[in-house]
Each structure stands twice: as C-alpha cells, then as structure tokens.
Amino acid sequence: MKLSNSEWKIMNIVWQQSPASVRDVLERVEGETAWSYSTVKTLLTRLADKGVLTVRKRANTSLFKPLISEQQARRSAIRSLLDSAFGGTFGSLLQHVAQEENLNERDRATLTGMLSELDAQKGDAP
C-alpha cells in the first residue's frame, strides 16, 4: 500500500484522532492547506477504498478509523523506498544516510548505539 503525501497528512490526523469525521480532519488541516470539505471527503474515501481506513455511518456523519497502524504504514513506505531507490537493501540506504545527510554527533551516536544493541541481541557483538 502506497500513500501519497496528502494521504499521509490525513492518516496522521486519523491516527491521532480516531474515529474522525470529514469535518474533524478539515478543522485540523485548515491552516496548512487550502482543501475544501469535498477534497477531504475524497481523500478519506480513497483511503477507505485502499483498505487503510474503515468507515461507519452515525446519523448523517461518516466516521473513519484506521485499519493499519502507523508502524505498518511506515514499514510499507520504507520497503517501497528500499525496493525502488536502493536495490532492496537496507545497507544501501544506511550508507546513503551516513554519507549524504550530514548526521550530527547525536544522530551518529544514536545510530551506533542501535547497531550495537542489534548485534548484542543477535549474539554478534565483537
């Protein structure tokens, strides 16, 4: 499942506020987008059609709830990025980040710590 930037924006709101109506989402994006009510409704409906949201009616209001977690969506996005831009390998992505993204000292220390922790869990510690 691949989400567009607009769909990510919608999903982030629904993950924070669930269930959410079209109006709930519209109120959250009003200051940062020029989306109309019908645009938000279309995006929510598209996400329901993709199987990432469920919708139920309460009176005349549609309420949307996530069917996937934020972690599942991130995992899918990373997998798609790895496959399309890095030959399917995580090592290529890490190499790119380390060489191209000017990691600060704190980020480098965090990454080193995470890798050491993974090594220790697998029994591969030096």
Helix, strand counts (H, E) of the chain: 6, 2
- Terminal-residue alpha carbon distance, the chain: 39
**Contact, 38 vs 113, CB < 8 A?**
no
Q: How far is CA 20 from CA 10, 26, 62, 97, in A?
A: 10, 10, 8, 36
Per-residue model confidence as pLDDT tens digits over 18-65: 999 999 999 999 989 999 999 999 999 999 999 999 999 989 999 999
Query: Distance between CA 10 and CA 52 in Å, rounded?
Result: 11
Indicate the pTM of the whole model. Answer: 0.78
Using 50, 70 and 90 to split pLDDT, how confident is the model at 72? very high
Residue 30: how many CA atoms within 13 Å on its side-chain side? 8
